[in-house]
Structure 1
Amino acid sequence: MKLEFCGGAGEIGRSAILVDDSLLLDFGMDSGNPPAFPVGDVDPDAVVVSHGHLDHVGSLPTLLSGDARPPVHWTPPTYDLAMVLARDTLELHGGTYNCPFTEAELARLTQVSETHGYGEPFTAAGYEVTFFDAGHIPGSAHVLVSDGDTRLLYTGDFHTEDQQLVAGTTARPDADIVVCESTYAETTRRPRAEIEREFAESLRTTLWEGGTVVVPAFAIGRTQEMLCLCERHGLECYVDGMGKRVTELFLRPRNRGFLRDPDRLRRAKGNARFVDGRDGQRKRIAEQNTVIVTTSGMLHGGPAMTYVPEIRTNPVNKIALTGYQVEGTPGRELLETGSAEIDGRVMPISARVEAYDFSAHADRAGLESFLESYRDATIAVVHGDRCAAFAAALADDGYAATAPSLGDVVRY
């Protein structure tokens, strides 16, 4: 089996792996400035998508230009999320380098889509493919690919610990080759239940003191996690940004079965007040003694650009960051300097700033526990900042592990 690593090798972003020149696994984009897209000249017979995050689906519509019409296989939530992200990209960047597709390619994507549930084998480009719950976000999948002789497991992004929305992965299908993500291979995380309790208590304290809490959160997965935590701990909240659409999407009848507890998210939605952003509504909300869950998670856009300036001068207020802050983003700048560039202005922040690791990826212990089932397999480490270091550690522990570089073609 020949694998070409067109993206996500030695990096996080633009994940794309081509199997035997015919089956493409993911086709994402790196949304940096400028954005980056997969390398190589791919013309697949079929595409299989692990989950609906931009770094795994962002470039998909470009595959449908010209006469190409490869079928695209994914779970129902992944399809719905990919369409939301693609439309958002078109609205924000259509006609520029940042958006390498048009409305025509997006329309074609709906025509070639084929959805599948977990544990339901299907055929793609002549391979037998099966999805298994990866425990990352609703609809996320480990992808098992078999050509009859060799079994390849592409882990996609995964988590081994339970979250509010989804349970941790327990799937360990037999495989000869494992292409494994390593996003948090250098991190050891405290139990999630401890982090959740600490987060809720911090928000409750700020509200008791009369302050406002802004909770910047990624729209897909993280916003819904925060809403569930607020409802669980009796904290009223507002929700703003793309996370509103994604919450509705997850509660569609065909997607509810991909949630750990659909009623939990339904209750969380009922506990939250949705913001439409009209007539100065956001500024009025920022003056309230409340919790505001809003995009963007790294403070580089979205309604957070209104809320943060409104609450920044009062030291009783709080900004509770809920995800990793990439270097160069306003969120990272805020953590390191106490100031952040918001809409072109550098603003000192007097409000308290806290950071919580609610990552939906397995940490070092989770990765090692997952791979323990694959000691006899060949391991390719991808999707991380230090893939080579993790592969070397695995090799020292007796695994046949390597870290391919971007553009590498490897025969297994």
Structure 2
Amino acid sequence: MQVEFHGAAGEVTGSLHLVIAAGKRILLDCGLMQGSRESEARNVDPFPFEPSQIDALVVSHAHIDHIGRVPLLVKRGFSGPIFVQHAGADLMPVMLLDSASLAESDALRANRKRGAGEPEVQPLYAREDVELAMEQVRGLPYGSRQEIVPGVEITFRDAGHILGSCIIELWADGRKLVFSGDLGPKGTPILRDPELVRDADLVLMESTYGDRNHRERADTLHELGDIFESAWRDRGNVLIPAFAVGRSQELLYWFAKYWDQWQLSRWKIFLDSPMAAKVVSVYDRHAELFDQEALQVWKDKPNPFRLPNLHISASTAESMAINQFESGAIIIAGSGMANGGRILHHLKYNLGRRNAHMVFVGYQAEGTLGRRLVEGAKWVRIHGRDYRVNAQKHTIGGLSAHADQRGLMEWYAGFDQHPPLVLVHGEDKARETLAGEIGERHGIRVELVRPGMVLEV
């Protein structure tokens, strides 16, 4: 068995790993590169392999940095099956159709500004490309070992990151590879904790937060309640950039659980994302994947997805109408790193207001607008215009959907032996720190791969 690393190898987006075994070529993830303009420009580059020669694609979960180039892969010649957990299969078209719509809008905007003689900008893929790709998707349950092509078997284990997220176990050539996908922290609302795996010949593990530990969740929730109280006193709005899958549903869960304590009935709460609304319906269909605490909240509290003052904005007109509110609004909108989507329009209206509050509840990748705001930028450019940043900012690390250093180390320690370990999906500082900690504790050498590297299993 051989593994080639082509994406999320020294960065946190663009997950793409190729396994060559049993005479077959199996792709693990096919994610979009996000962040700076230079990073995103790489999405149009040729794949470092011939797509038509890939026998199967196995997807860890439905976040865009893990599935965002799947329609492009199909468009360029891949015709094999795409394996994903059942809930992930329901989420994929929601995510990819939104991605296609954004790509088409960006191309339209770029072409309006195109100078004479400049070539027309084409979207990375269109909605019809997504529909074609979805015909190749095959949903699988957790815990079932299945042959996906001759000589290659896989099992999905719950990764606890988003609904349908998977740890992938893969057997071929008498060897076993384990790919963590993105691991969630223990105690994540709604979701079950990541499953432990006991044996492997090689482990590929994410390392997004390999150099830090999250705040205790209780402290984080106390801080979030304080932010809402301060914003109410300031007579301002609260803006929360949040991914449509995972973070938005988690926030609504906490809103339901602390409905009375945070006095949320006095606010207007907007989930400004037609995609998030569709994701909510997927969650509704897969309650069998919820943990016991979530089932109890659904029973005893207001339904998190149907709060009495929750407004889900489907149309552009509904989204634009939110900006008539200069105070008293909690606005959850994508994208989670503020590098696109409807949150940009709300930032344009609110960044200059000293009584506005921005709350960042997830990882902000290098080169994104969210990262610049978190790092204290005084001016930012949105849609070609510069905006002064007067709004107050808050970084809430304890709500991350990724395991922190402690959680990653605990998950790796669950293996009975200490199999060779490769760190992916992390920036270098995080990977180097985690490699040092694990290497010292278990006496192993941890590999930090780069794009194009090849390892034998």
Q: TM-score, normalised by structure 1?
A: 0.91
The answer for the alignment partner of 2:420 in structure 1 is 378
Superposed displacement of residue 312, structure 1: 3.6
CA deviation after TM superposition for structure 1 residue 400, in Å: 4.1
Alignment check: 8 A CA contact 1:218 1:243 kept: no
Counterpart residue number, 1:124: 148
1:232/1:278 CA distance change after superposition, 3 Å:
same
Q: For 1:174 and 1:46, how far apart are their aligned partners in 2? A: 24
- State the 1:208 CA deviation: 4.4
| Matching residue within 417, 429, 438 for 1:394 | 438
Overall identity of the aligned pairs, in %: 26
Residue 39 in 1 paired to residue 44 in 2? no
Matches within 5 A, 1:15-34: 15-20=15-20, 21-32=24-35, 33-34=37-38
For residue 252 of structure 2, give the secondary structure of its aligned residue in structure 1: helix
Q: Deviations over 1:124-143 (max 9, x none)?
A: 12312110000111100000
8 Å contact kept, 1:251–1:262: no
Whether 1:192 and 2:217 are equivalent positions in the alignment is yes
- Which consecutive residues of structure 1, in runs of 5 or more, have no partner in the other structure? none
**Residue aligning to 1:238:** 270
Q: What is the Cα-based RMSD across aligned positions, in Å?
A: 2.5
Instruction: Indicate conservation of the 8 Å contact 2:98/2:275, yes or no.
Output: no
Deviates most, 99-108 or 231-240: 99-108
**In the alignment, does 2:353 pair up with 1:317?**
no
The CA deviation string for residues 309-367 of structure 1, in whole angstroms up to 9 with x for no partner, is 33344433312122222333332333313433233222223332211112211111111
- Alignment partners' CA distance in 2, 1:128 and 1:379: 21
What secondary structure sits across from 1:132 in the alignment? strand
Residues 125-165 of structure 1 deviation map (CA, whole Å, 9 limit, x = unaligned): 23121100001111000000112621111000002322223
Q: Which moved more, 1:270-279 or 1:33-42?
A: 33-42
| Match 2:161 to one of 108, 129, 136 | 136
Question: How big is each residue's C-alpha offset from its partner over 1:156-204, in whole Å with a ceiling of 9 and x where there is no partner?
Answer: 0002322223132133242221111111101122122321221123213
Q: CA deviation at 1:31?
A: 2.5
Secondary structure of residue in 1 paired with 2:135: helix
Give matches, 1:45-64, under 5 Å: 45-64=55-74
Quote the offset at 1:281 in angstroms.
Answer: 1.4
**Partner residue in 1 for 2:450:** 405
Say whether the 8 Å CA contact 1:133–1:142 is kept in structure 2.
Answer: yes
Whole-Å separation in 2 of the counterparts to 1:160 and 1:248: 21
Do the aligned partners of residues 198 and 6 (structure 1) sit closer, same or farther apart at CA in structure 2, a change above 3 Å counting? Answer: same
The 1:150/1:97 distance shift into structure 2, 3 A limit, reads farther
Matching residue's letter, 1:248: V
Q: Tell me the equivalent position of 2:386.
A: 346
Maintained 8 Å contact 1:23/1:125? no
Aligned to 1:180: 205
Does the alignment pair 1:114 with 2:162? no
Query: How big is the shift at 1:303?
Result: 2.4
1:273 aligns with 2:283: no
Q: Is the contact between residue 136 and residue 158 of structure 1 (CA under 8 Å) also seen in structure 2?
A: yes
- 1:78 match: secondary structure: helix
Q: Whole-Å Cα distance in 2 between the matches of residues 238 and 190 of structure 1? A: 27
Q: Is 1:368 the equivalent of 2:409?
A: yes
Whole-Å separation in 2 of the counterparts to 1:252 and 1:97: 39
Work out the number of aligned pairs and report it: 410
2:58·2:83 contact (CA, 8 Å) conserved in 1? yes
Q: Which amino acid aligns with 1:41?
A: E
Q: 1:200 and 1:39, CA in 2 relative to 1: closer, same or farther beyond 3 A?
A: farther
Checking the alignment, whether the CA contact within 8 Å between 1:3 and 1:409 is kept in structure 2 is yes
Quick check: 1:247 aligned with 2:242? no
